[in-house]
């Protein structure tokens, strides 16, 4: 769970959506239209800020008889403060307040967050990027080019609002066929957060 919540925070930003794709009517964007969509998404989803939001995380696995659905709330302050609180079905809390110098995995993940802050949510150095458009949704499929990312995911799908570029949903397709979808709501960006949110229990 700790790994999944941190990986999802690597990909983060805004609003809810239940569909996992832009739909059959979606058309692949090319040239200037693709560039405009990517620019709008990058502008709307700058990670160099604070976020508070509620989430619904749905995990699908062939090993399970039904999907596992978790609900809760989270807070994030760039670059290294995270609070991930699952309220249902089983309460749990993960808090990170700065990077633990002895935790190499945490250091590696936070380097990725810093890279996302610099390069943006979509970068064509680490991913093969395909953008689709439907009347309401831009769908961005990110196929990992880097070995470390491709060992985790076959694809990361971002669904964003066509009007604002704001991220609505993230779908992580893992090696082995499992998927995790994160939908966010009640998002507040850029406000000063109470330091107590990041105090470890």
Quick one: pLDDT band at residue 110, thresholds 50, 70, 90? low
158-188 pLDDT per residue, tens: 999 998 898 889 999 998 899 999 998 888 8
Of residues 162, 197, 186, the one with CA closest to residue 36: 162
Which conformational region is residue 23 in: left (phi greater than 0), alpha (psi within -120 to 50 degrees), or beta?
A: left
93-108 pLDDT per residue, tens: 999 887 677 777 666 6
Distance, in Å, from the CA atom of 54 to the CA atom of 122, rounded to the nearest integer, reads 23
Distance, in Å, from the CA atom of 174 to the CA atom of 27, rounded to the nearest integer, reads 25
How many helices (H) and strands (E) are present in the chain, helices listed first? Answer: 4, 10
For residue 60, give the H/E element and its range: strand 50-60
Distance, in Å, from the CA atom of 31 to the CA atom of 27, rounded to the nearest integer, reads 13
Q: How many other CB atoms are there within 10 angstroms of residue 109's CB atom?
A: 21
Distance, in Å, from the CA atom of 197 to the CA atom of 188, rounded to the nearest integer, reads 15
The reported pTM is 0.79
- Measured at the CA of 175, the angle between CA 71 and CA 62, to 5 degrees, comes to 60
DSSP states of 31-47: HHHHHHHHHHHHHHT--
């Amino acid at each position: 769970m700790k790994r999944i919540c941190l990986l999802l925070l690597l990909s983060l930003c805004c609003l809810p959506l239940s569909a996992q794709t832009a739909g059959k009517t979606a058309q692949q964007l090319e040239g200037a239209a693709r560039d405009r969509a990517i620019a709008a998404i990058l502008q709307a989803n700058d990670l160099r800020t604070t976020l508070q939001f509620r989430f619904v995380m749905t995990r699908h696995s062939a090993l399970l008889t039904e999907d596992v659905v978790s609900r809760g709330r989270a807070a994030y302050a760039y670059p290294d403060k995270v609070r991930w609180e699952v309220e249902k079905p089983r309460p749990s809390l993960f808090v990170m307040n700065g990077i633990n110098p002895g935790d190499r995995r945490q250091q590696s993940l936070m380097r990725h967050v810093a890279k996302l802050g610099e390069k943006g949510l979509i970068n064509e150095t680490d991913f093969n990027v395909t953008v689709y458009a439907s009347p309401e949704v831009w769908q961005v499929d990110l196929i990992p080019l880097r070995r470390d990312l491709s060992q985790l995911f076959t694809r990361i799908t971002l669904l964003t609002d066509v009007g604002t570029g704001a991220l609505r949903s993230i779908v992580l397709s893992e090696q082995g066929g499992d998927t995790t979808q994160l939908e966010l709501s009640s998002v507040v960006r850029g406000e000063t957060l109470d330091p107590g949110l990041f105090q470890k229990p």
